[in-house]
Amino acid sequence: MLRTIRLTTAFICFTLVTLLFLDFTGTLHAWFGWLAKIQFLPAVLALNLGVVLLLIALTWIFGRVYCSVICPLGIFQDVVSWLAGKRKKNRFRYSPALSWLRYGVMVIFILAMISGLGAWAALIAPYSAYGRIASNLFAPLWQWGNNFLAYLAERAGSYAFYETEVWLRSLPTFIIATVTFIILIILAWRNGRTYCNTICPVGTFLGLISRFSVFKPVIDTSKCNGCGLCTRNCKAACINAKAHEIDYSRCVACMDCIDKCRQGAIRYTRRKTNKAEIQTAQPAVDKPDRRKFFTVSALLATSAALKAQEKVQLPDKKVDGGLAIIEDKKKPDRTTPITPPGSLSAANFSRHCTACQLCVSVCTNHVLRPSGNLQTFMQPEVSYERGYCRPECVKCSEVCPTGAIRPITKADKTAIQIGHAVLIQENCIVNRDGVTCGNCARHCPTQAILMVAKDPNDPDSPQLPVVNEEKCIGCGACENLCPSRPFSAIYVEGHEQHRNI
């Protein structure tokens, strides 16, 4: 019964979290966006103390149920392991905990967060890793399926579906998502929860707490016949049937052992202290001094990781002109990258973002994509080659679970200056080709661009755009709609600190 409840809840959570990354309309977030906000690391970065304490209390009472019910990456590994079990049953075996690796990875993760390398630390963060897999590998398949339905519906005279553009937002991020996907499949197919119990820093931290959980699977030695069936079905490899021991720091409370035990020797019950009845594993790492060190280190790290890091400094570069042929736009080399409205500043965004790609998935304007900069690697940045940041769209601020992008209204967005437009005179087709244009001024939503005569003494001379930086909000409409190719004659330079106008 407990296993059925766990499987049902896990299936619902996994499906809904996955749909959050697949839903390019952003409508599901109004109902189920809270599932992203109760993930452990996003809750820590968002300073959502209530959720963090709730997850810690949940682990202290019931064990690592977060890993087997709430965490999408953990459930994904369970799915792969379940499929592998169809080919070969009773395939697991007990293995001692690799404590040096588990706690070593956690310490490295902590140091990366403290030193401002949160984007790189996110490589092994479970929610972020699954988000990249879903948005880079699953989402294109979902969108192609949608486009096929849109094609069929259009032929039938229906417009219930509409086509969406499928494109590769970042090759490095796609490669990392693919490699992560393959590694997880191999590990889960062969040994079940290897990643969760050797690499995942969240699993390691919660494992410290689950050692002392109130309810946990326990072995009744008076009923156990030593068949080892529990061990051979434990995907966490934490049950030593010969010694009647369970390593509760690795147990994810999946209840598989209870379901498989034919003698009824394993029960999920309240913790007892009768050593004659219940045997629990005591790895060397459970010594009071070392246990205290790791517990205190993990708690300090979650607060230290929230300290402000140094602002992102990019080399000063200039934008070169381009050929006047019809071709795709190229991204300008901005001195300061652009972060989404609501992120407050580049430092705040970098400090809180886990690079889960959820905001990228719901950006219908195609302006958000993972960064290739080493300091903010895979964290979303704004670029305007395929669209511009429409003033009426605030979807990214609605879905961000970490506080990297704060919730804003449409009215707020029209007053937030994330950057300002810069004109490159030699790229403008008025100067280059001797034609009239004014496209940037016509489409500027804040009327920050005016057309003035090239020759002040000749009112009939061609007109050039002039940018009023005080009114510009950096939406990128001018950059996106500029007919100059491959580089726009006008582009947006980001602001380290966002301003209100």
Beta-carbon contacts of residue 215 (< 8 Å; ≥ 6 apart): 61, 62, 63, 268, 269, 270, 271
The predicted pLDDT at position 295 comes to 46
* Residues 197 and 237 sit within 8 Å (Cβ to Cβ): yes
Residue 272 confidence class, pLDDT cut points 50, 70, 90? low
Q: Is 126 left (phi over 0), alpha (psi -120 to 50) or beta?
A: alpha
Closest by Cα among 246, 275, 278, 289 to 63: 246
Instruction: Encode pLDDT of 183-222 as tens digits.
Output: 999 999 999 999 999 999 999 999 999 999 999 999 888 8
- pLDDT at 362 exceeding the cut of 60: yes
Q: Which residues of 130-157 are buried (b: 16+ CB within 10 A; e: fewer)?
A: bbbbbbbebbeebbeebbeebeeeeeee
What is the model's pTM? 0.83
The predicted pLDDT at position 293 comes to 43
* Residues 84 and 189 sit within 8 Å (Cβ to Cβ): yes
Residue 286 confidence class, pLDDT cut points 50, 70, 90? very low
- pLDDT at 321 exceeding the cut of 50: no
Q: How far lies 191's CA from each of 91, 133, 203, 322, in Å?
A: 8, 21, 16, 54
- pLDDT at 315 exceeding the cut of 70: no
- Comparing 299 with 114, which gets the higher pLDDT? 114
Of these ranges, 74-78, 286-290, 324-328, 424-428, the one predicted with the greatest mean pLDDT is 74-78
Taking residues 284-312, what's their average pLDDT? 42
The predicted pLDDT at position 375 comes to 85
- pLDDT at 226 exceeding the cut of 60: yes
* Residues 397 and 492 sit within 8 Å (Cβ to Cβ): no
- Return the beta strands (E) in 38-141 as ranges: none
Closest by Cα among 238, 207, 204 to 105: 204
Beta-carbon contacts of residue 362 (< 8 Å; ≥ 6 apart): 23, 24, 25, 26, 29, 395, 396, 399
Mean pLDDT of the chain: 86
Taking residues 63-72, what's their average pLDDT? 94
Instruction: Encode pLDDT of 82-112 as tens digits.
Output: 999 888 888 899 999 899 999 999 999 999 9
Q: Which of the residue ranges 224-238, 264-278, 299-313, 340-354 would you say has the lowest mean pLDDT?
A: 299-313
Taking residues 430-445, what's their average pLDDT? 91
The predicted pLDDT at position 100 comes to 92
The predicted pLDDT at position 59 comes to 95
- pLDDT at 296 exceeding the cut of 50: no
Taking residues 458-486, what's their average pLDDT? 91
- pLDDT at 282 exceeding the cut of 70: no
- pLDDT at 329 exceeding the cut of 70: yes
In angstroms, rounded to a whole number, what is the distance separating the alpha carbons of residues 211 and 250?
Answer: 9
Instruction: Encode pLDDT of 422-436 as tens digits.
Output: 999 999 999 888 888
Q: Give the count of beta carbons closer than 10 Å to the beta carbon of residue 12.
A: 13
Residue 480 confidence class, pLDDT cut points 50, 70, 90? very high
Residue 483 confidence class, pLDDT cut points 50, 70, 90? very high
Taking residues 19-33, what's their average pLDDT? 89
Instruction: Encode pLDDT of 374-407 as tens digits.
Output: 889 999 999 999 999 999 999 999 999 999 999 9
Instruction: Encode pLDDT of 122-145 as tens digits.
Output: 899 999 999 999 999 999 999 999
